[in-house]
Amino acid sequence: MSRKRAPGLAIGVIAVALAGSLALGLPGRGIGAATNQSRTDASKAGRITREDGVAIAKKAVAAAEAAPTTFHAPGPAFNAAPARGKTVWLVTIPAVPYASLIDAGLKQAAKAAGLKLVIYDGQGTVPKYSQGINQGISQKANVIVEAQIPAQLFSQDIAKAKKAGIPVIVIENEDPGPLPPTAPPGVVAAADQPHQAVGKLMADFTIADSGGTGKVVVLWSSDAKGIGVPQLKGITDEFKRLAPNMTVETRDVPVARWTSDLPTLTGTLIADPNVKYLLPLYDGMVLNMLPAVHAANAQDRVKIVSFNALPAMMTSLSKGDVVAADVGTSGQQLGWALADQILRVLTHHKPVLNIQLPIRLFDGHNIGSINLSAPQPTWYGNVNFAAGYEKLWGLKK
């Protein structure tokens, strides 16, 4: 079997599109009357004017810039005590920065719930992941978690786990919602970031920032379809809805070719003076793009909007260096949310379909208020999500 590597990770939904109209000018003669009439005509035709599209996008951006203030329980409260002492076997890629944040959160949650957690380094390859799943089976783990790489690649291994009576949970395989028909039998639950909502918000920022005009290039990886397709859909659908006259192109760069292809492709794309915005789906892509933007001396013309809010990208954003906006979720809270799914499965409660993970948009309006040297969860406000989960599990009053 060929060696395949997993993508750098990406990344309650607060990216809300607020519909409505923006009244410019007073009714009557002149420009105001003409504008209102054109909007009325556009409304009758089922179209949104450029001005209204920009106004809607700005409202969505403003809402997403604010830090979450409330813990949203993903599902009903339950008694997690019967799971105490059981073993969770996690096959992941600890070297991936965002994955390490998830691991940190899961460790904290496992300790709070009395679970034994074993983290197996799958090194981002199919053979090592397969080995890790099978080792979890041989060690008679109570639950196996497969992270980041599409579960379909391990259908036979997961079938073995099912035969052994070990449920499998996947993380960062798809978008929130019911398990897809392609999920291997034996997968019982998932914990995923809201990729489509993230993509929608990336488009909202670009529309608001550009005034609904210009040329945009979206870069994605078709070999990470499970998380890539929803995010790409969120981006393209929002441009069609709010800024149909913007030029939006897509480029496919497989994960394994990020390092080799992205620098040259970036240089080629920005050689077109009409290209003002680059929307790579993941921060891991940006690392290979920034040098090319600087080499072309285009850092004052081109803006990058991405997802994951990794420290390197947040630093670039804080310096006003090419990165104009970055959408993120708290990796540590995702680790706790994963623990919630694990505990529901281990105690025979129905898993939730959406882990209700908050997302936040970072840009020039709020980056100055973020202490980048502080722990990553603080970037997402002061919500004590750990206490929220422990109360949900019956561990705290």
User: What's the confidence (pLDDT) of residue 256?
Assistant: 85
By C-alpha distance, which of 65, 17, 103, 110 is closest to 370?
Answer: 65
The pLDDT, as a whole number, for residue 46 is 55
Q: Using CA atoms, how far apart are residues 171 and 295, in angstroms rounded to an integer?
A: 37
**Is residue 267 in some structural domain?**
yes
Take residue 262 and report the two structure tokens written for it.
Answer: 């992205």
- Give the CATH number for residue 161: 3.40.50.2300
Nearest to 256 by CA among 72, 5, 56: 5
CB atoms within 10 A of CB 356: 17
| Structural domain includes residue 15 | no
Listed residue (325, 287, 368, 292) closest to 207, CA to CA = 325
- Do both 324 and 199 map to the same domain? yes
Q: What is the pLDDT of residues 60-78, one digit of tens each?
A: 999 999 999 999 999 999 9
Q: How far apart are CA 75 and CA 141, in angstroms?
A: 25
Same domain, 189 and 205: no
277 and 173 in a single domain? The answer is no
Is the residue at 17 inside a domain?
no
Residues in the chain, pLDDT under 70? 1-46
pLDDT in tens, 107-157: 999 999 999 999 999 998 999 999 999 999 999 999 999 999 999 999 999
pLDDT in tens, 75-89: 999 999 999 999 999
The secondary structure of residue 151, as a DSSP letter, is G
Judge whether 219 lies within some domain: yes
> What pLDDT score does 97 carry?
84
Residues 269 and 352 in one domain: no
- Indicate the residue type of 240: K
* Domain-located, residue 21: no
Structural domain includes residue 342: yes
Give the residue numbers spanning the domain of 295: 53-66+195-328
Task: Answer yes or no: is 155 within a domain.
Answer: yes
Q: Are 49 and 213 in contact (CB under 8 A)?
A: no
Are 283 and 258 in a shared domain?
yes
pLDDT tens figures, 279-290: 999 999 999 999
**Are residues 231 and 154 part of one domain?**
no
Whether 221 and 133 map to the same domain: the answer is: no
**Backbone φ, ψ for residue 145 (5° rounding):** -115, 125
In this structure, the answer to whether residues 153 and 229 fall within a common structural domain is: no
Q: What is the DSSP string of 193-215?
A: --HHHHHHHHHHHHHHHHTS-SE
Residues 260 and 322 grouped into a single domain = yes
Q: For the chain, how many structural domains are there in total?
A: 2
Do the domain assignments include residue 103? Answer: yes
Count of alpha carbons within 13 angstroms of residue 307, beta-carbon side: 32
